[in-house]
Amino acid sequence: MLETSARLLALLGLLQSRPTWTGPELAERLGVTGRTIRTDIERLRTLGYPVDATRGRAGAYRLGAGGRLPPLLLDDDEAVAIAVGLRAVTGLAGIEDAGARASTKLHQVLPSRLRGRVQALTATTERGPDNTGSDASDPEVDPALLGEVAEAVHRGEVVRVEHRGDRLVVEPYRLVTWQRRWYLVAREPDADRWLALRVDWLDLRVRTGRRFAPRPLPESEYAAFVVREVASSGWAVHARIRVDAPADVVLARINPAVGVVEPLDDGTCVLVTGADSVATVAAYIGMLEQPFHVDGPPELVEAIRVLGERYTAAVS
C-alpha cells in the first residue's frame, strides 16, 4: 500500500484524468478500502482542493473548480508533449512569452530521463516559417478578446461588435482557426445573414447577456463556410479578375480558399479573389497560367504592371 502522501498525489492524479470516479473504482485503483478513499478525499479538501461528491450507494467524485491550481500529475508522454508543444504556440498576442515561461517551469521539474528527451527534441528540430503564402505578417489575436468571444459562443449570447468600422449585433456560433487566423462564424439577425468575421479585426463592444435560439448553418461545416466566405470577402485586398478560360479550367487550377469562380460564358469567367497584400494577389493570378484582365483596384493594376516589366526585363 502507498504511503499517505504518495497515495494523495495518486488520488489527485486520478481525479484529474477523467471527469468522475466512483468510490469503489478509486479504491480498486489505489488498493485501499472505501473508507480510506473517503478519508483521503477529506484530506485533499483540507489542503484546498475542492472535490465534489454525489451521494449514493457507490458515490461519485469529481475535482471541482477552486481558488488554486492543483499540481498537474503528468505521465511521461504527456509531459514531453506539453514541453514540445509549448515551443510551437503562435497566433495569440503575448502567448509565446507565456509559453516560454511555462516551458521553463516545466523543464525545471522534469525527471532527468525526460529532460534529456525534451532537450534532444528541441535541439535537433527547427520550425519552418509559419506563413509562406503571403508577404504580409501573421496577425496576432488578444487572448482576452478570444476568451470573451468563446464564452459568448458557449453561452449562446448576443454580442455587439465592431468589425472594420461596421457596428453589428450578432449571434456568435463558432470560432474557426484557419491559415494562422481566427474567425468568428456569426449570424446577423436583423439582416438574416451569416458572417465570417476575422477576430484580429474585431472589437467586442458589449456582451448583452441576451440569449438566442440557435439556427442551423446553411453549409455542411463551419470550416467550409469560413473558407468560402474568406475567399470572396475576408481579405484585406479584394479583386475581380476576368479570365479568358472556362470556369472549370480555372477551378482546376486553384484551391477553393483562393477564390470563387463565376462563369460568364463557355470560354470566360470571373475569379473573385483576395489576399492580405496586392503583391500576393498579383502572384496568385500569374499562377493561373491563363490570359486574364484586371481593371482594379488601382494598386493591383500597378503591381501587375511592375511585375510585367520586371519579368520582361529578365528575359530581354
What are the pLDDT digits (tens) for 184-196? 999 999 999 999 9
Are 263 and 247 in contact by the 8 Å Cβ rule? The answer is yes
Instruction: Residue 191: give its domain's CATH number.
Output: 2.30.30
Q: What is the mean pLDDT of residues 240-256?
A: 88
Q: What is the mean pLDDT of residues 237-263?
A: 85
On whether residue 265 sits in a domain, the answer given is yes
What are the pLDDT digits (tens) for 171-181? 999 998 877 77
Per the structure, the count of domains in the chain is 4
In the prediction, which pLDDT does 286 show? 86
What are the pLDDT digits (tens) for 212-221? 999 999 877 8
The reply to whether 116 and 161 lie within a common domain is: no
On whether residue 71 sits in a domain, the answer given is no
pLDDT of 281 strictly over 80: yes
The reply to whether 147 and 226 lie within a common domain is: yes
The reply to whether 102 and 157 lie within a common domain is: no
Are 107 and 82 in contact by the 8 Å Cβ rule? The answer is no
What are the pLDDT digits (tens) for 44-87? 888 888 888 887 665 689 888 764 566 667 777 887 787 777 76
Task: Measure Cα distances from 258 to 3, 72, 90 in Å.
Answer: 62, 43, 23
CA atoms within a 13 Å half-sphere pointing along the CA-CB vector of 65:
0
The reply to whether 218 and 282 lie within a common domain is: no
On whether residue 138 sits in a domain, the answer given is no
The reply to whether 248 and 293 lie within a common domain is: yes
Cα–Cα dist 190/172, whole Å: 14
Cα–Cα dist 161/168, whole Å: 5
Residue ending a domain, among 231, 263, 294, is 231
Cell 508533449 locates to: 81
Reading the block at residue 202, the C-alpha cell is 474585431
On whether residue 131 sits in a domain, the answer given is no
Reading the block at residue 71, the C-alpha cell is 499540481
Structural domain boundaries, residue 208: 143-231
What are the pLDDT digits (tens) for 99-144? 777 777 777 777 777 777 777 766 666 555 555 555 556 677 787 8
On whether residue 132 sits in a domain, the answer given is no
The reply to whether 227 and 240 lie within a common domain is: no
The reply to whether 248 and 226 lie within a common domain is: no
The reply to whether 247 and 213 lie within a common domain is: no
The reply to whether 252 and 311 lie within a common domain is: yes
**Residue 66 or residue 263, greater confidence:** 263
